[in-house]
Each structure stands twice: as structure tokens, then as C-alpha cells.
Amino acid sequence: MRFVDEYRDNTHAERFARAIARITTRPWSIMEVCGGQTHAIVRFGIDQLLPDDITLIHGPGCPVCVTAVELIDKAIDIALRPEAILCSFGDMVRVPGSHKDLQAAKAEGGDVRIVYSPLDAVRLAGDEPDRQVVFFAVGFETTAPVNAAAVAQAARRGLDNFSILVAHVRIPPAIEAILSGPDNRVQALIAPGHVCAVMGTSEYEAIATQYGVPIVVTGFEPLDILEGIHMCIAQLEHGAAKVETQYARGVRPQGNATAMALMNEVFTVVTRKWRGIGEIPDGGLALADAYAGFDAERRFGLVDYTVTEPTECLSGQVLQGIIKPHECPMFGGRCTPEHPLGATMVSAEGACAAYYRYRRVSAA
């Protein structure tokens, strides 16, 4: 399969591993931001191919994991209303809210439907004029353009029974929050390839300079990640701190202008609470005033709902890369995919789920 098989070639992987070992002269800690990259690392055993001096830290780039608990609760509230149809991407349905998840709400009679695209939800709204169709708009900048397109399409069609529950989060402020945190050990970043395919790389220039960290925009196959790591280490060893693009086949420095224009029209930057991390200024997107009528929180009277969460699970520390999943005392015991304590164990791209599913054995 083109663009997949070549990037999973074992022989090349070993050559990269040797090249990395050759240029590494001291310990370095590198964070890969995106959950998809974490999954690839654990699934393909990339960390096992690296010299011991290189530590990979798993970042908070899983939008499912960082969606605030309040938003899950709001989605459940909406789903349980008889007039509503709550449409969501698949992995959101198992993420625990304060008391239950969307899957349980569905079993209780809530109309929860898994869709592959927000445009499916718009079509549904057109087909079911007597129901309120709500799309749970989760994701980073990667999914924001198509969600913006869905809202724009609903506006053009004059649909008054379509709204979105916005949970969008932005990567650059989260990176800054991590790099400026008191326990930060991250010295270089593997930046998310698909976010940058949309947004371009300019937002990361300032971060690289201000914090003195190399940032390499990287793809998702094993060879992409190995090459990205190699590029990070090459910079680190030379004391450089620039933005480079490994994922050249997907990313242009200027990003996707059409996508960004649509995003800027429909959304506006706001402060957002990240589950496990806390409020991050400019860390999210909300609907712009012109499209506020499509905001589900307003439509269903859920704007002022807040939640105090119990402080026990260590998802937060995992999301910030302070501990690894298997270092959490609950990992694999009280916390497994069947009974997850936190979103990082539920989400397909969560670090804990990746570690659990692809867990390694030392004996051959």
C-alpha cells in the first residue's frame, strides 16, 4: 500500500535506529505531541529501537482525552433529551463523564449516533426536521475546518435544528503550558503532522525561539517518527532550536489557506479547560458571534454548568508527560480498558490505552 508500506519498512527502521545511536552523545527528552504518534510509537516499538539515552515523553495530543468532563456531561444531558439526537465520533462514547459515559446514556434510551463526519449530522438534521441534531465537535485544529464547514453548510441551508457542542482545543497554547510548567523535562518536540497540514508551521516559530526547543513537524508512520526523532536530536546536539518539517508530503509551511479561512470565520479563540491540565488561555475554539446560534450549550441552556472533579486519577500527569502510563499505580489493575479511570485509557489514541493494548514482553 503506497505511503504506508514504505514507511513501515523494517530494514529502513533499523538503519534509522543506527543513525540515531551514532549522533546521540548525551541524554535527551523528546515529547511527541499527538496521540496518533504515541500509538504508532508503542504499537511499532519505536521506543525499543532508540538508544537508552533518548527518553520519549507522551504529550496531550489526544482530543478525546483532554475534552473537559463538563462537556461529556453536557453531551449526555443533551443525548437523554427526547427531542435530541447526539452525533459523535466513535471514541467519545466510552469516555467517562462525572457519572457515566455516552454509551451508558445510549443504553438508557438516549439517541446517540456514531458518525464519520459532521456533514452526516447536517444531513440528518435535514432529514429529521422535528428533532434537534447536535454534533459533538471534538478535536484539534485537524477536525475544526470540517466542523466549520458543517456549521456553514447548516447556515446556508437555513437549518434551525442543527447545533454543535464545541470542545475544540488548540495545540500551540498547550505546548507552551507544558514547556513553561514547573516540572517540564521536554527538550524537543515532535509536532503533530495533521494539525500542521491545516495550520502551517508559523505558530511554532515563536515557541521554538522563546523556549529554545527544536520542533520537528512529523508524520505518523514508524519511519516518519524515526526520521523526526533523528532531526530533533541532530538539532539538540548542535544547540539549535528551529522549526523543521519531516512530514513534507503532508505539510506546507503556509498550511491550508481555505481551511484556515473557514475556521477563522466560524470559530474564535477562547480559553478552554483541558481535562487533566486545567484552563489554558487561548487553548480552545468556540463559535464566533455570527454563528453563536449554532452553539448547543446556548440552545440547551447548559452554559453555566460546572463540575468539581475528584482528584485521584493520574491522567493529568500522563497527559503532561510527567509519568508514563505503566508508572501509574492503577495501570492494568484498577484501570483497564474495560473499567477505565480516565480518558487516556479509554480513547483509542490515549497513551494509557496504547500502553495497555500493545504491552510488551521481554522474553522472546
Q: Which stretch binds another protein (CB under 8 A): 63-71, 124-132, 156-164, 228-236?
A: 63-71
Longest dimension (CA), the chain: 66
Neighbouring C-alpha atoms within 13 Å toward the C-beta of 322: 14
Task: Please give the residues from 206 up to 245 whose contact with another protein meets the rule CB under 8 A.
Answer: 222
What would the grid cell of residue 156 be?
A: 446556508
Q: Which stretch binds another protein (CB under 8 A): 127-135, 154-162, 233-241, 330-338?
A: 330-338
96 lies in the site for another protein, by CB under 8 A: yes
Q: In what order do the strands lie in the sheet with 243-245?
A: 54-61, 28-34, 188-192, 215-218, 243-245
Tell me if 186 sits within 8 A of 31, measured CB to CB. yes
What minimum distance in Å lies between the beta carbon of 279 and another protein?
7
Task: Please give the residues from 97 up to 116 whose contact with another protein meets the rule CB under 8 A.
Answer: 97-101, 103-104, 106-108, 114, 116
339 lies in the site for another protein, by CB under 8 A: yes
Task: Count residues binding another protein (CB under 8 A).
Answer: 85
142 lies in the site for another protein, by CB under 8 A: yes
Q: DSSP string covering 103-165, please?
A: HHHHHTT--EEE-S-HHHHHHHHHH-TTSEEEEEE--STTTHHHHHHHHHHHHHHT-SSEEEE
Task: Please give the residues from 41 up to 60 whose contact with another protein meets the rule CB under 8 A.
Answer: 43-46, 48-49
One residue of 124, 260, 335, 352 binding another protein per CB under 8 A:
335
Q: Which is nearer to another protein, 64 or 165 (CB)?
A: 64
Residues forming a β-bridge with 87: 113, 135
What minimum distance in Å lies between the beta carbon of 224 and another protein?
13
Tell me if 341 sits within 8 A of 352, measured CB to CB. no
281 lies in the site for another protein, by CB under 8 A: yes
72 vs 93: CA distance, rounded Å? 9
C-alpha pair distances (Å), 115 with each of 122, 219, 349, 362: 11, 25, 18, 40
One residue of 54, 241, 341, 351 binding another protein per CB under 8 A:
341
93 vs 97: CA distance, rounded Å? 10
Q: Which stretch binds another protein (CB under 8 A): 125-133, 149-157, 255-263, 332-340?
A: 332-340
One residue of 277, 286, 351, 352 binding another protein per CB under 8 A:
277
What minimum distance in Å lies between the beta carbon of 99 and another protein?
6
One residue of 170, 275, 299, 324 binding another protein per CB under 8 A:
275
What would the grid cell of residue 64 be?
A: 478525546
327 lies in the site for another protein, by CB under 8 A: no
User: What are the DSSP E strand ranges found in 5-69?
Assistant: 28-34, 54-61
349 lies in the site for another protein, by CB under 8 A: yes
316 lies in the site for another protein, by CB under 8 A: yes
Task: Please give the residues from 111 up to 140 whose contact with another protein meets the rule CB under 8 A.
Answer: 114, 116, 138-140
72 vs 341: CA distance, rounded Å? 15
One residue of 8, 12, 113, 131 binding another protein per CB under 8 A:
8
